[in-house]
Amino acid sequence: MVMAAVERNRRRAVGKAGLGLSFSVAIIACNAATAVAVSRLVGADGRGAFALVVVFGALTLTTGSVGVPDAVASRHVAWTAEHWAQQLTLSFLIALPLTAVVVALALLVSASEASRPVRAQLLVLALVLPLRSTGLTAVFVLLARGRVLLHQALMVGVPICTLVAVAFAWTVDMRSVDALCWAAVVGATLPALAQLALGAGVGFGRPTRDLTRRSVGFGMRSWIGSVATSGNQRADIVVLSTLADASMVGVYANASSVASLALIAPSAFGARIRWAVAKNDLGGVRRWLLTAMLLSIGLAVVGAIGAVVLFEPVFGPEFADGRFIAAALTIVAPVLAFSRVLAIVVSMNGRPGDAARAEIIGLVVGLVALILMLPTFGLWAAVMASVTGYSVSCIVEWKVCRRYVTGVIA
C-alpha cells in the first residue's frame, strides 16, 4: 500500500514536471516565433527597436515588484489568505512611486538616436507598472497556495500575447516598426489582467505595518538579486541600444533568443525546486537541480549547432553575422542556468542576500566589460562580457550555495 502511494506520487511529480517543461517550451517557442516574424517584417533595425521595448518591459516589471512576489512564496513565514490580500494591495502601492522612476528611466534610455522612435512605447510601459506588478504578485499567490501548474501557465501569458499581437498587426497590414512595438506593449500589459482575475481570488486588503515590514524586509533582499539576475540576462540589450546602432541590437537580440533555449530548464523546474525547498525535500531539490542542469547542457549543444546552420535561413540575410555569436552565447548559457537554479534554493531558504550578492557582482563585471570592449570588438564584446559576467556570478554563487546542494538545507 505504501509503495503504491509512493509510486503514484512519483508519477504525479513526473507528470507535473513534464507539464512545467511544456510551459517553458511554449515560452521559448512563442519568443522564437515572434523574433522570426519581427525580423522578417522590419529587418535588423526594427528588430533592435522591438527588442528594447520587450526587454524594458521585463526589467521594469522586476524592478517594480520590489521582491514582494518572492516574499509571498517564501516558506519562512506562515502567510494566510488575509496576508496575501494585503500583499496584493502592497504591490500596487509600492509600484506607484516607482512609476516616476521608471518614467525617468524610459526618457533616459530613449535619449539615443537608435531608441528615440520607441519613446512613447517605453513611457506607456512605465505608466502601467502598478497593474503589471500587482498581476505578478497575484501569480505568486497561486504558487504559495500550491497551484504550481496554474502559476506556470499564467507566466506564459506575456510571450503568447506578444506573439498574438504581432500576428494581428501582420494580418491587418500594420507592419511598421512603430506598430510592432505597440504590439509588444500590448503583450506585456494584457496578461496582467488575466493574472489578477485568476490569482487575486483572495481579494485585496489594507496592508498592516507589520506585514509591510516583513514583506518588504524579505522582499528587498530578494529584489536586489532579482534585478541583478534580470540584468545579467537582459541589460546588454539596453546598453547596446544606447551605444550601438539598432541593427547591431537586432542581430544580438536574435542571438540571445537562440541562447535562451538553454534556459528552458530553470524556467521549467524553478517552481518545482521552490516547492521542494518549501517542503524541506532535500532529495527532491537535488533531483530537480541535476535534471535542470543536464537538460540545459544538452539543449546548449543542440542549440549551438542549430545556430550555425539555421540562423541565417530562419531570420534572413541581414542577420548572417549573428550565427556564430548565437552559437557562442548558447554554449555559455548553462553557466547562467546553473547560477539561476542555485539562487532559487538559497532565496527560498531565507537567504536572498547571499544569492543577490553573486548576481550583483556578475552584473557589474559584465556591464563594465561590455562598455570597455564594445568600441574594439563590436558585438563580440557583448559575448565576451556575458561569458565573464556569467562565470563570475556562478563562481561566487557556488561558493555561497554549495552547502545547500551538497549538504543539508538550513
The 10s digit of each residue's pLDDT in 316-361 is 888 988 899 999 999 888 887 877 777 777 666 666 667 778 888 8
pLDDT value of residue 313: 92
Which pTM value belongs to this model? 0.78
In which band, very low, low, confident or very high, does the pLDDT at 404 lie, cut at 50, 70 and 90? low
pLDDT > 60? residue 227: yes
Residue 65 located in a structural domain: yes
pLDDT value of residue 360: 86
Residue 150 located in a structural domain: yes
Range of the domain at 288: 14-404
Of 22, 17, 28, 55, residue with least CA distance to 261: 28
The percentage of the chain sitting over the pLDDT mark of 70, rounded to a whole number, equals: 84
DSSP-based three-state secondary structure for 76: coil
Of 335, 351, 336, residue with least CA distance to 409: 351
Residue 230 located in a structural domain: yes
Residue 113 located in a structural domain: yes
The number of domains in the chain is 1
Residue 233's φ and ψ, nearest 5 degrees, are -95, -25
Longest dimension (CA), the chain: 69
pLDDT value of residue 5: 42
pLDDT value of residue 18: 54
Cα–Cα distance, 161 to 153 (Å, whole number):
13
The 10s digit of each residue's pLDDT in 241-277 is 888 888 888 999 999 888 887 777 666 676 677 777 7
Residue 8 located in a structural domain: no
Cα–Cα distance, 259 to 326 (Å, whole number):
6
Residue 130 located in a structural domain: yes
Residue 9 located in a structural domain: no
Of 355, 362, 382, 363, residue with least CA distance to 371: 382
> Do residues 38 and 46 make contact, with C-beta atoms less than 8 angstroms apart?
yes
pLDDT > 60? residue 1: no
The 10s digit of each residue's pLDDT in 185-199 is 988 888 888 888 877
The 10s digit of each residue's pLDDT in 358-377 is 888 888 998 899 999 988 88
Among the listed ranges 37-41, 169-173, 318-322, 330-334, which one has the minimum average pLDDT value?
169-173
pLDDT value of residue 235: 82
Look up cell 539555421; give the residue.
310
Residue 6 located in a structural domain: no
